Amino acid sequence: MSEITHRTIKANGINMHIAEAGEGPLVFLLHGFPELWYSWRHQLPALAAAGYHAVAPDVRGYGRTDAPAAIESYNMLNHTADVVGILDALGERTAVVVGHDWGAPIAWHCALLYPERFRAVVALSVPYIPRASAPTTQLLKQVFADTFFYILYFQEPGVAEAELEADVARSLRFLLYSASGDGPRGAGLARKPKDAKFLDGMQEPDRLPSWLTKADLDYFTSEFERTGFRGGLNRYRNMDRDWEELPQLAGAKVQQPALFITGDRDPVLTFTSSDAMKASVPDLRDVLVLEGCGHWTQQERPAEVSAALVGFLRGVR
């Protein structure tokens, strides 16, 4: 099995930590919230063994990558420029980009904004969502007028940080379990009162699910105890800014070959649809739905996700 190595490189004006394995065509693996490069721990060696150079960064604001202070530093323009900056630093012209959770929108936007640099795209959990008719929070306030919705809760700086950082290990344990296929249905994003908190309704597992060891949880906990959650939360606070800064994406289509992977118990499916994206992703090769899988796709079903990635990559070589 290929060894995972680590280094820090300069990209888009910040220091970015990357984990990497293997040699060959470049494949980026972009994590989401609240995760780290570590969520790709299974795919890095699997892709390396298949003949690829797999690179999983800590996204800006996470882990051992820089976390700029300004909220606007976490807009989509910066996140995609970070990926291009890594591509340049590695001396590569093109790559395939793979993203999970918030990494998925970053991957979709890499394909849209830099079509000459990204020759294919894979998204896990979050389908391509075309530009809306109005800013995101405006639309969400209409839909969730009298109920809690986590994206709106995350908008006010400091509020979610205080809740999640009060006991980092507990917060991660609740979230990783409740949004997984092992957790009770609806525990993660169930409708609840508008004045609720993010973790309300989530449950403590009697024991960790089989895909998450104590060592795994300890790694996530140690990193977030050191950094806090602000960097990841600031991505949510730029959704309206992204809408304002990217008007050219109205009606835009992702032209590259694409693959979408999700779990049939992923709570994100309660407010998104993979069917709706098909008209905007004309070369969507497949939609893979993993039975019994929740939100943490590549961690819950590592072998199936790795096999799907390798099969897709060989098809677009």
Which strand ranges, in their side-by-side order, compose the sheet holding 284-290?
5-11, 14-21, 53-57, 26-30, 95-100, 118-124, 258-263, 284-290
User: Is 1 a residue whose pLDDT tops 60?
Assistant: no
Where is average pLDDT lowest: 182-186, 260-264, 311-315?
182-186
- Token digits for 65? 């990558």
pLDDT of 317 reads: 74
- H or E element in which residue 87 lies: helix 76-89
Which residue in the list 58, 66, 101, 182 is annotated as catalytic?
Answer: 101
| Percent above pLDDT 90 for the chain | 92
DSSP annotation of 73 reads G
User: Is 175 a residue whose pLDDT tops 60?
Assistant: yes
* Tens-place pLDDT, residues 138-163: 999 999 999 999 999 999 999 999 99
Closest CA to 96 of 317, 305, 301: 317
Using DSSP, state whether 47 is helix, strand or coil: helix
pLDDT of 270 reads: 82
* Tens-place pLDDT, residues 85-100: 999 999 999 999 999 9
pLDDT of 272 reads: 82
pLDDT of 276 reads: 84
* Tens-place pLDDT, residues 32-64: 999 999 999 999 999 999 999 999 999 999 999
Rounded mean pLDDT, 194-210: 93
* Tens-place pLDDT, residues 79-137: 999 999 999 999 999 999 999 999 999 999 999 999 999 999 999 999 999 999 999 99
Assess contact for 185 and 201: CB atoms under 8 A.
no
Residue 89 identity (one-letter amino acid): A
58 in active site: no
- Round to whole Å and give the CA distance between 259 and 306: 13
pLDDT of 188 reads: 59
pTM value > 0.85: yes
pLDDT of 189 reads: 67
| Percent above pLDDT 70 for the chain | 98
* Structural domains of the chain sorted by starting position, each given as residue range(s) with its CATH number in brackets: 5-316 (3.40.50.1820)
31 in active site: no
Mean pLDDT, the chain, as a whole number?
96
With cut-offs at 50, 70 and 90, classify the pLDDT of residue 274.
confident
